[in-house]
Amino acid sequence: MEQPTAEQSFAALLEVSAVPLLKQHGFRKQKLTFRRERDDVVDVVNLQLDCQYRRRIENIGSGIGPHVTVDAETDIPATADIVCAALTSALEVMCQLRGPDDIVRFALSDIDFDVFRYRFATGDKAGADEHYQRARYQFGAEPRWQRLDDLFRQASARTVGAD
């Protein structure tokens, strides 16, 4: 019997873990994106083999690891338990979020430009300044800081210009 590819293992993992769990919690699936509308909030969970930063699961709930490695040799049942535990923790946090202000309070990343723009847009200049200073303290010595600093300046310029 031929060994499954990483993509096939990933698909099998999702079918026994994330798909049934998220559907049970009212999410609708479209490819690898799950959406659920509740009151004034739309919850979106996107599962990927390779992920670009948005709001990673470990940034909204404590005790959740940053990722699960899936390859052709992944133990699907054992990894499914890990995925379900992480998603259950994330869903508990998501259910507490009732709108943008709650989301801003739960954002644990200092390079979250959506939160930074939201603070500016809602007139929370002190919060935006604090957000920037925390990011600068954490990432200022890294080679990527100039690029991050440019992104902060662009975010504040777009937001201020929109007023």
What are 93-123's pLDDT values in tens digits? 888 888 777 777 766 666 777 788 888 888 8
38 beta partners: 41
d(CA 75, CA 91) in angstroms, rounded, equals 24
pLDDT of residue 5: 86
* Entry pTM: 0.66
Angle, alpha carbons 56-100-129 (nearest 5°): 80
Asked if pLDDT for residue 130 goes beyond 70, the answer is: yes
Is residue 160 within 8 A of residue 120, CB to CB? The reply is: yes
Look at residue 53 in the predicted model and tell me its pLDDT: 45
pLDDT tens-place string over residues 11-68 = 999 999 999 999 999 999 999 899 999 887 888 888 877 654 455 666 665 666 667 7
